[in-house]
Structure 1
Amino acid sequence: MTRILATASLAALLAACAPASDDMEANGDAAAMNAVTVCPDAMIVGLDAYPDESLPDTEDFADWHIQNAARDDVEQTDSGLQYKVIQAGIKNGVKPDAGESITANYHGYFPNGEVFDSSYVKGSPMTHKSNGFIPGWNQSLADMAVCEARTLYIPADLAYGNSGAGGRPTGTLVFNMQLISVNR
């Protein structure tokens, strides 16, 4: 009797741990079951994980953006957003859908290094809708998986522009940011 119970228990355990069936994968259920929405603490990067870059102290960044895009480690989107991946997202980490709540760490600064806002300095990440930021952030978040960390080089037209209305920062902005969770 003990042997039968042990065999039944082992069979149940193996069934629970078995990979998803082809039917589940076809329906997307397996991917949903294994999707990661929160970055493990061990993968959350600190501000010191971002390399210190000296950016030009200039008012005209058009030429600078052309040179920056030519770097091997910098990607550029069709819109002109430039970014460098500091840490890849988790393989099965979800990407936020438009309007979903996300939690992220960020450090925003001017190209001359002057910080204008930072969750790192504040001591806690921020939570906000994934499409409620400046266009450069919105575009980047749509393509990021949980745990991914990037440096964003955002031209003025994808940030707050050049006018500075409402005391907002103007011109090209740089952000170190990491997607910590998609709050589903």
Structure 2
Amino acid sequence: MKIILRKIIFLILLLGIGLLIFSLTMSYYTDKEAAEELISGSYDIGKTEYYEREAELRTHKTTFMDLGAGISVSALVLLGFFIAKRIRKFSDLIQIMSINKTLIFILSNVIWLVLIPGTHFYHIFRRGRGDYPPFADSIGISIINQISLLLFYDTIEFIHRIDNDKKYNTNTNIH
């Protein structure tokens, strides 16, 4: 019995879309009036009390939304990869050739550049759905920290590759 990978990934995609649709039918809070009251009075109470009361009112909507979106995007990426590489069954995975170091270096930088607007969108989206309390007005710090950390790791990878090229006398044409 052949197991077709694309069908499995497609079913995983449907699962992710199903979770996402299910999350859209839920409300954010169990009691909307109490949540509005909490948000409007958030500057008058302590942070600990706000977070405790907010946790009591919050439903699992955002969890299902994040799971559904994450599973869907992952499945779409895998499905696109399998279609591009013409992979249909598990035995086809053995025939995949790895890419060279130059392409890895170029792709890692392109992906890092795509992560800049992606990180910005992620935090703006989370702010819009109410993941941050009204008194948390500094999401810019987390955006900059995440982007800077990714740049730092990309730089370390680049230095490591140059060092390995010199050590093992290989030529990857990246320096």
TM-score by length of 2: 0.29
TM-score by length of 1: 0.28
More helix per residue? 2
Report the structure number with the largest CA radius of gyration: 2
More strand per residue? 1
